[in-house]
Amino acid sequence: MAERTIVEYPHPALRRRCAEVTSFDATLATLLDDMRETMDKANGIGLAANQVAVPLRAFTMVIPGASEDDPGEFVELVNPVIVGKRGEVRNEEGCLSFPELYEAVLRAAEVDVQYDDRNGVAHRRTFAQIAAVCVQHEIDHLDGVTFVDRLSPLKRRLALRAFQRAQLARQVEAAEDRRAAVRGRA
Ligand code: CO
């Protein structure tokens, strides 16, 4: 397994509608293994393939456990399609492609999903609560939609402005760290 680079907004990979997976081969298995490692290292609970710049319809996710010491259940969904939705829930969401940005988004409280596993075998499963929110957030990614797109125009503008300001500050800080490292070597 290998960790991959997570792309941040406004990377164009986040805007692309991903293609159906048709080859359930070793390349797909490696991608899913790498996504799991990348998601775990970033302390995320969901990661879509286009967040590592691979435009395929697949995501990895952790269904949170019942208690603090329950690590939860790891799942991977290929070609996921929501076939049923019930209820509403408003939840504070974050995204590995928008570090440090959290916004409340309205989603269905429960979703029925059809999907394939890594071997191309079809499944159907119902997800609720945080897992349902996560599934909707990740399937949005596969359609080129981010959680910021689910905000009102005003909230979206404010959120993106705050995010880009913080992102710029992080980039300046990283550049200063690199310069300091170069001086250290001289
Ligand atoms: Co996300």
**Strand ranges for the chain from DSSP E:** 46-48, 58-63, 73-86, 89-95, 98-107, 110-116, 122-128
pTM for the model: 0.94
Distance 24 CA to ligand 1 centre (A): 24
What mean pLDDT comes out for the span 31-39?
Answer: 98
Closest Cα partner for 146 from 97, 90, 76? 97
- Environment of ion ligand 1 (residues, CB < 5 A): 95
pLDDT at 186 over 80: no
pLDDT confidence tier of residue 169, bands split at 50, 70 and 90 = very high
55-71: pLDDT as tens digits: 999 999 999 898 989 98
CA of 134 to the centre of ligand 1 (A): 8
- Whether 119 has a pLDDT exceeding 90, the answer reads yes
Residues designated as active site = 138
* Residue 124, token pair as written in the block: 């159907």
Helical segments of 60-152, H only? 129-142
* Number of other residues whose CB lies within 10 A of the CB of residue 172: 10
User: How far is the centre of ligand 1, averaged over its atoms, from the C-alpha of 175 (Å)?
Assistant: 26
pLDDT score of 166: 95
- Per mean pLDDT, which range of 28-42, 87-101, 123-137, 169-183 is the poorest? 169-183
Selection from 7, 6, 9 nearest residue 156 by Cα: 9
Using a pLDDT cut of 90, give the percent of the chain over it: 91
Evaluate whether 145 touches 156 at the Cβ level (below 8 Å): no
Determine the pLDDT at residue 29. 98
Rounded Cα–Cα distance for residues 48 and 154 (Å):
26
Distances from the Cα of 15 to the Cα of 9, 54, 145, angstroms: 9, 12, 6
- Averaged pLDDT score across all residues of the chain: 96
Ligand 1 centre and the CA of 183: distance in Å? 37
Cα(148) to centroid(ligand 1), Å:
10
Is residue 99 over pLDDT 80?
yes
